[in-house]
Amino acid sequence: MSNLIKLLPDAVANQIAAGEVVQRPASVVKELLENAIDAGATEIQLIIKDAGKTLIQTIDNGCGMSETDARMCFERHATSKINETNDLFNLRTKGFRGEAMASIAAVAQVEMKTRLVEDEIGVKINIEGSSIKAQEPVQTSCGTTFSVKNLFFNVPARRNFLKSNPVEMKHIIDEFERVALTHPEIYFKLTSNGNSLFDLPIGSLRQRIIGVFGKNFNKKLVPIDEKTTIVNITGFIGKPEFSRKTRGEQFFFVNKRFIKSGYLHYAIMKAYEDLIPKQTYPSYFIYMEVEPSTIDINIHPTKTEIKFEDERSIYAIINSAVKQSIGKHQMAPSLDFEAETSFNVDPVKAGDEIKMPQIRVNENFNPFETKEKSGGSNGRITKKDSTFELPKCDVDQQQALTSLYHDNNLITITDEDEEEDDQQAIVEVDVTRKIFQLHSRYIFSQIKSGYILIDQHKAHERILYEQFLETLGAKKATSQQQLFPVKLEFSSSDFAILTEIWDEVKLIGFDIEKFGNTAIAVNGVPADLRQTDIPGLFDKIIEQFKNNRDELKLDTTDSIARAMARSMAIKAGKKLSENEMTLLTDQLFACESPYFAPNGKKTIVTVTLDELEKLFN
């Protein structure tokens, strides 16, 4: 039998190996930026076209390469950064494998121009699918320019697998941000399709973070600083009250390299425990410096996972450093969970102990008396000495009971104890109505067979969601012009998301226009929008959209309709007039699925008289 095994041609072997290093345009961006930093550049420009599918270009003012090195750099395992195995344990550079250029050149059309400071003339090399097409002298400034065109031109399967431009661009921005955050001492600029997205002058770390994420970040940051023999930690953490529902701005860097670590993330989350609502995440920018010999970077092709010699100690040090920073800046007391409206507060959870509301029986109540005569300032009548407690039961039952007492004009209930314990089921009753609001949160309405409770926020979310889906389908929203246009500034990554949902946001009735690189002017808002906090609203829409898209994997229209409904729906805590309550109830029942909010939670709870009756047995 003849021999079957043969060596793969270089070009094929390179393509296969490239799969590890170059997964998408963002991987090329990362490798090129890192090479420019290793070359000692103080100015790096990144130019992108079509989310990197057509062009990824870096221009650096680093050390450049000689003619021989220019040729060599495309060879596999060719590196100027290490010489022997021991160097691997003392890495100070980002690169060390000598693989990135070979991998990129295997799957794209690359042009490189480079010049050493001491040379008068540089060299230009064109290489495509691992084969050199041209090499010639060139006039060029010192440093190196890489142009990577038509990525995966020779691997159609991979090209077809690339995601939409906004998604690929988001990955590029992520990589760019990570590198820019690591090196505030380097000037970075990112241009995409001719628009400048980032222009980051050299400055302090705080200035760099603000440059990347926007001016709003200034007030959110608290410094962290801890020096130990194992690790030195510097950077910033976010104040707890600015924690968000999406895991956005969380960064670990080790020896100036961005890394991911679920374990160390947990150390931080533990430090914030009890200070932030569940399922929200704080921002952090943690920079660790360790002895290079105590880490192993070579365990993952993208170098974003590393092994620490003493991970447990680092965990403990980070945890305590974060706690200290939080404490030092006395951030905890300023927390006001009720004021934060971007998350759903469920006041009583299964298993929580429920305290009984205090019910005061009004023996003298006369329904025909006017408010003034009854002596209560707002129609409530209390008599402190005749107080009794309800039997132990759950909240639904409590509410059922209290409304029953009320229906029989036996009682009115005050909310005097509200400040003392917000877990109490506090009921506000207007004795003349059959529809009223409980705790500024639920709408109580008597029906023939008993009563219903409507969660006002969830109900409004359902109503808006269906309206938005319809508007987005029919493309016919009306907009109400603002007297003064509102100007809003975004971080580049938030702006990229806004660009992604631009058409839909307009369709829903926002009259917006781009204004500079990452700002917009809001000239009009949807005709029935009650909210006045337009900047807050946009932040929430972007935040919710990210959440829906990343975590629930919804399609764009659905994500947007949900995000807008969630952000614009009236919140728990908002007092409603009787007319508003009636309108909301009517609109809810006109919905296709009135009983559930878009996220599947109940909007309405019904309690029948039979069920009430059973409570007395």
Residues at the contact surface with ligand ATP, assessed by CB under 6 A: 31, 35-36, 38-39, 60, 62-65, 73, 78-81, 95-102, 144
In the complex, which residue's CB is closest to ligand ATP? 95
Q: What are phi and psi of 481, to 5 degrees?
A: -70, 140
Q: Which two tokens stand for residue 283?
A: 């921002």
Q: State in angstroms the smallest separation of the CB of 98 from Mg ion.
A: 8
The site partner of 466 among ligand ATP, Mg ion, none (C-beta below 5 to 8 Å per kind) is none
Closer residue to ligand ATP, CB minimum distance, 143 or 357: 143
CB 200 within 8 A of CB 63: no
Q: Does 62 bind Mg ion (CB under 5 A)?
A: no
Positions in 430-459 near Mg ion (CB under 5 A): none
The site partner of 73 among ligand ATP, Mg ion, none (C-beta below 5 to 8 Å per kind) is ligand ATP
Closer residue to ligand ATP, CB minimum distance, 88 or 348: 88
The site partner of 564 among ligand ATP, Mg ion, none (C-beta below 5 to 8 Å per kind) is none
Q: Does 144 bind Mg ion (CB under 5 A)?
A: no
Q: State in angstroms the smallest separation of the CB of 35 from Mg ion.
A: 4
**What is the rounded distance in angstroms from the CA atom of residue 354 to the CA atom of residue 346?**
13
Q: State in angstroms the smallest separation of the CB of 98 from ligand ATP.
A: 4
Q: State in angstroms the smallest separation of the CB of 202 from ligand ATP.
A: 19
The site partner of 65 among Mg ion, ligand ATP, none (C-beta below 5 to 8 Å per kind) is ligand ATP
**What is the rounded distance in angstroms from the CA atom of residue 479 to the CA atom of residue 425?**
40
Q: State in angstroms the smallest separation of the CB of 329 from ligand ATP.
A: 39
Q: Which x/- pattern over 9-48 shows residues binding Mg ion (rule: CB under 5 A)?
A: --------------------------x-------------
129: left (phi over 0), alpha (psi -120 to 50) or beta: left
The site partner of 46 among Mg ion, ligand ATP, none (C-beta below 5 to 8 Å per kind) is none
Closest C-alpha among 403, 412, 273, 398 to residue 348: 398
CB atoms < 10 A from the CB of 366, how many?
Answer: 11
Distance of alpha carbon 318 from the chain centroid: 23
Closer residue to ligand ATP, CB minimum distance, 62 or 211: 62
Q: Which two tokens stand for residue 351?
A: 């298993």
The site partner of 501 among Mg ion, ligand ATP, none (C-beta below 5 to 8 Å per kind) is none
The three-state DSSP-derived secondary structure of 141-204 is CCEEEEEEECCCCCCHHHHHHCCCHHHHHHHHHHHHHHHHHHCCCCEEEEEECCEEEEEECCCC
Q: State in angstroms the smallest separation of the CB of 21 from Mg ion.
A: 9
**What is the rounded distance in angstroms from the CA atom of residue 123 to the CA atom of residue 250?**
41
The site partner of 169 among Mg ion, ligand ATP, none (C-beta below 5 to 8 Å per kind) is none
Q: State in angstroms the smallest separation of the CB of 4 from Mg ion.
A: 36
Closer residue to Mg ion, CB minimum distance, 35 or 45: 35
CB 510 within 8 A of CB 494: no
CB half-sphere exposure, 104, CA atoms < 13 A = 28
CA angle (466, 471, 474) in 5-degree steps: 125
Closer residue to ligand ATP, CB minimum distance, 98 or 223: 98
The site partner of 80 among ligand ATP, Mg ion, none (C-beta below 5 to 8 Å per kind) is ligand ATP
Q: Is the dihedral of CA 390, 394, 398, 401 positive or negative?
A: negative
Q: State in angstroms the smallest separation of the CB of 41 from Mg ion.
A: 13
Closest C-alpha among 532, 338, 533 to residue 439: 338
Q: State in angstroms the smallest separation of the CB of 72 from Mg ion.
A: 13
In the complex, which residue's CB is closest to Mg ion? 95
Q: What are phi and psi of 489, to 5 degrees?
A: -105, 140
Q: Which x/- pattern over 84-123 shows residues binding Mg ion (rule: CB under 5 A)?
A: -----------x----x-----------------------
Closer residue to Mg ion, CB minimum distance, 56 or 321: 56
CB 440 within 8 A of CB 580: no
Q: Which amino acid is at 18?
A: A
Q: State in angstroms the smallest separation of the CB of 23 from Mg ion.
A: 16
CB half-sphere exposure, 13, CA atoms < 13 A = 8
The site partner of 181 among Mg ion, ligand ATP, none (C-beta below 5 to 8 Å per kind) is none
The site partner of 62 among Mg ion, ligand ATP, none (C-beta below 5 to 8 Å per kind) is ligand ATP
DSSP assignment of 307-329, as one string?
EETTHHHHHHHHHHHHHHHHHHT
DSSP code of 594? T
Q: State in angstroms the smallest separation of the CB of 28 from Mg ion.
A: 11
Closer residue to ligand ATP, CB minimum distance, 21 or 181: 21
The site partner of 500 among Mg ion, ligand ATP, none (C-beta below 5 to 8 Å per kind) is none
Closer residue to Mg ion, CB minimum distance, 58 or 192: 58
Closer residue to ligand ATP, CB minimum distance, 71 or 571: 71
CA angle (149, 154, 155) in 5-degree steps: 110
Q: State in angstroms the smallest separation of the CB of 125 from ligand ATP.
A: 12
Q: Which two tokens stand for residue 548?
A: 């829906």
Closer residue to Mg ion, CB minimum distance, 95 or 526: 95
Helix, strand and coil content of the chain, in percent to the nearest 5, comes to: 35, 25, 40
**What is the rounded distance in angstroms from the CA atom of residue 502 to the CA atom of residue 191?**
20
The three-state DSSP-derived secondary structure of 333-384 is HHCCHHHCCCCCCCCCCCCCCCCCCEEEECCCCCCCCCHHHHCCCCCCCCCC
> What residues line the site for Mg ion (CB under 5 A)?
35, 95, 100
